[in-house]
Structure 1
Amino acid sequence: MVLETGILAKFIKLVIYIIEHFYRIISILTVFVNKALLSSNTINLDAPLFITWCQCIISLIMCVILSNLSKWFPKYIKFPCGNPYTKETLRKVLPLSLLFTGTIATNNLCLKYVDVAFYYIGRSLTTVFNVIFTYLMLGQKTSIDCIACCAFIVTGFWLGVDQEHIAGSLSILGTIFGVLGSLTLSLYSIHMKQVLPKLNQDIWLLSYCNNAYSVIIFLPLMLANGEYITVYNYDKIGSSYFWFAMIIGGICGFAIGFATALQIKVTSPLTHNISGTAKACAQTVLATYWFNEKKSYLWWISNFVVLGASAMYARLRQLDLSREYKEEKQQSQV
């Protein structure tokens, strides 16, 4: 019996290990593929919203396929069925989908204008905005230690921006989109906690709806950005290579959502955050090597400050939540 328990524990650890590395590989691959789509000379299409829109369409198609497969093979495939365009679902999810659209649009716009190595720093203020909006919108206070971590994150961010400026590689527009991406992602995360209970905590149904609505929301945004004319005049629109790259990008976008949900399900949000920090470190090192970029000593310090402070914040939040849970349990027993 003890031997069987030991084997089971090792098997579970192996599964978690595989899932964590699957998430990291898919996440890094998605960033590099998107960077190639958004700003490489090979693709050379100045229509970032159109590219993001196509990725949403591919994700939506995959959601529809999985939804139908779950009807045909309910014992083997579990995926939300139904119509995301019903009035009731639309009322519940549309405001969140607007934030989702803003998040993926600003993230891709940030990636278009900044180097992959700087991408994590450019979007590193999500934790800081989380603390601010959690207090302003929900009235929840954060411990002094966590606030100190946020101060270090801001310091690392500004140091990274400063070093990019000194090196002459700073994109102000890309940095602005990075900050906006952090802001919208923070609002999305907070609002998602309020919407998920209305969907029976079904993350996949939420993803299904988000992609379905984003496909429509992006249409006026592309019109305002003048991308219809750009795409119409694009000389590679019929190229099989272009559409192959677009499909790969869409599949990666869908896969990162699957990997994230799977990792959180089998571990915890904290483990996912720590894994994301490790992924960001590997992504930064790989990007500097891949693109043959030489960075200053202070530039690397800025990255380690942000990574370390983010990991410490996640750990402190775990301790705070554990303490609050124990206090609530003790009060309920009195």
Structure 2
Amino acid sequence: MALSGSTDSQDPENKEETFLLKSMKIALVVTLYWFVSITMVFLNKYLLDSPALKLDAPLFVTFFQCVVTVVLCWCMNILAMLCPGSVDFPSIKFDPKVSRSVLPLSIVFIGMITFNNLCLKYVGVAFYNVGRSLTTVFNVLMSYLILKQTTSFQALLCCGIIIGGFWLGVDQEDAHGNLSWIGIAFGILASLCVSLNAIFTKRVLPAVDGSIWRLTYYNNINACVLFIPFIIILGELRTIYNFDKLGNLDFWGIMILGGVFGFAIGYVTGLQIKFTSPLTHNVSGTAKACAQTVLAVSYYNEKKTFLWWTSNVMVLGGSSAYTWVKAQAMKSNHEIKQSKSESGV
């Protein structure tokens, strides 16, 4: 009995220690996601639109980041073979047939990363989240047009709030004299491509055995090849050739760092979902966007009106509400299926 009592008395302590350790891991993963995501945005803004750098070659910057991602995939593959117990990374070997299967997604992927970077080039970091905030709206629209999936009234109401926030933000940027219509256009196109990317990813995943990392590898290889003619046609090759910092190691260090963070965002996103849940990941992403906006306003010493901040709150609030509504719908559908299964229907 004494032995049994001793074991029972230790259980609460062990449970508390396990809970504390798990909480610390989750906090560390979420912090890592925030750090990588926010740093990547500021790094890309510097590379794309810094007055000190004066590099007008957004496609080349995006192309180089794809090259870095492919190289890092190779490095991770080698590390996984050398340290099978320590590094978890799928075996990758280039297969032209798989590359062709992934090509339709790769075209959407190129549009997504290019328009994202072009939007960031023409709008400020503070407005970036509002500028490309219509992803949720396009998710609903594309799901209906392509997948024939209907959406609840509550979800549509959330989309309405997001659209309202977007237009209010555009109006306030215009009132501040900071509005770039080309940046807005690229933001809308980026939102559309992000939505299409999610839909096409589901279709293409079987071609890479369901592995997101294999998909990343093939997407970026295809992107590297497809970017080259556009870089030549749009004259960016000449821009790079005449760039006065081409021999500067600091410049190439920042370029490589941008590519590393571009690769890392895929890893930390997966890590955050693994340690939390898709719903928590979306909430964390919304909170991160809010922190990123506040940081940008502070860093660039910008003054914003109440209505400008209201537009951000509407976009972030609408996005969070949509995530909650979809989560509730999924939970309800799961309970209905489980009830039917138990009743033998």
- Normalised by the length of structure 1, the TM-score is 0.97
In structure 2, the residue matched to 1:155 is 164
Alpha-carbon distance, 1:59 to partner: 1.3
Amino acid at match of 1:162: D
Matching residue of 1:192: 201
* Structure 2 CA distance for aligned equivalents of residues 17 and 247 of structure 1: 28
Distance 1:173 1:112 in 2: 10
Write out aligned runs for 1:20-39 (5 A): 20-39=30-49
2:248 to 218, 236, 239: 239
Shift of 1:13: 1.5
**Aligned pair count?**
333
**Structure-to-structure mapping, 1:310-321, within 5 angstroms:** 310-321=319-330
**Which 4+ residue blocks in structure 1 deviate beyond 4 angstroms?**
none
Give the superposition deviation at 1:226.
1.5
* Correspondences of 1:58-137 after superposition (within 5 Å): 58-84=68-94, 86-137=95-146
Q: Aligned to 1:252, which of 244, 250, 261?
A: 261
Task: Tell me the secondary structure at the aligned position of residue 235 of structure 1.
Answer: coil
Q: Indicate whether 1:226 and 2:224 are aligned.
A: no
Deviations 1:92-115 (A, max 9, x none): 322111111110000000000100
The counterpart of 1:299, out of the listed 297, 305, 308, is 308
- 2:34 is the counterpart of 1:5: no
Question: Share of identical aligned residues, percent?
Answer: 47
* 1:295-314 Cα shifts (integer Å, max 9, x gaps): 11111100000001100110
Aligned counterparts of 2:139 and 2:91: Cα–Cα separation in 1? 32
2:33–2:268 contact (8 Å) kept in structure 1: yes
> Would you say the 8 A contact 2:102–2:207 is kept in 1?
no
Deviation of 1:247 (Å): 1.1
Equivalent residues of 2:98, 2:207 under 8 A apart: no
| Post-superposition offset of 1:201 | 2.7
- Secondary structure of 2:245's counterpart equals coil
Counterpart residue type for residue 294 of structure 1: K
- Structure 1: which 5+ residue stretches go unaligned? none
SS in 1 for 2:280: helix
CA distance in 2: counterparts of 1:24 and 1:175, whole angstroms: 25
Q: Among 156, 175, 178, which residue is 1:169 paired with?
A: 178
Report the aligned-residue RMSD: 1.2
Q: Which letter maps to 2:150? A: K
Deviations along 1:74-122, whole A, 9 cap, x unmatched? 12111122323x1331133221111111100000000001000000000
CA distance in 2 between counterparts of 1:29 and 1:194 reads 31
CA shift for structure 1 position 197: 3.7
Whichever residue aligns with residue 53 of structure 1, its letter is F
Alpha carbons 1:203, 1:261 under 8 Å: kept: no
1:332 to partner: Cα distance: 2.2
Counterpart in the other structure of 2:189: 180
Deviates more, 1:283-292 or 1:188-197: 188-197
Give 1:146 deviation, angstroms: 0.5
Structure 1 position 259, deviation (Å): 0.8
In structure 2, how many angstroms separate the alpha carbons of the residues matched to 1:82 and 1:145? 43
CA distance in 1, matches of 2:223, 2:135: 22
Q: CA offsets, 1:125-154, max 9 Å, x none?
A: 000000000111111111100000000000
Q: Give the equivalent residue in structure 1 for 2:51.
A: 41
| Greater gyration radius | 2
- 1:103 corresponds to which letter in structure 2? M
**What SS does the corresponding residue of 1:66 show, helix, strand or coil?**
helix
1:57 touches 1:211 (CA, 8 Å); kept in 2?
yes
| Counterpart for residue 292 of structure 2 | 283
Give how far 1:195 is off: 2.1
Amino acid at match of 2:253: F
Deviates more, 1:182-191 or 1:217-226: 217-226
Q: Residue 198 of structure 1: CA displacement?
A: 3.8
Taking the aligned partners of 1:46 and 1:91, their CA distance within structure 2 comes to 31
Equivalent position amino acid for 1:24 in 2: W
Gaps of at least 5 residues in structure 2 are 1-10
- Aligned partners of 1:44, 1:257: CA distance in 2, in Å? 29
The structural deviation recorded for 1:10 is 1.8
Which secondary structure state, in structure 2, belongs to the residue aligned with residue 155 of structure 1?
A: helix
Question: Which whole-Å CA distance do the structure 2 matches of 1:242 and 1:82 have between them?
Answer: 30
Tell me which of 212, 219, 225 is aligned to 1:216. Answer: 225
- Structure 1 position 2, deviation (Å): 3.4
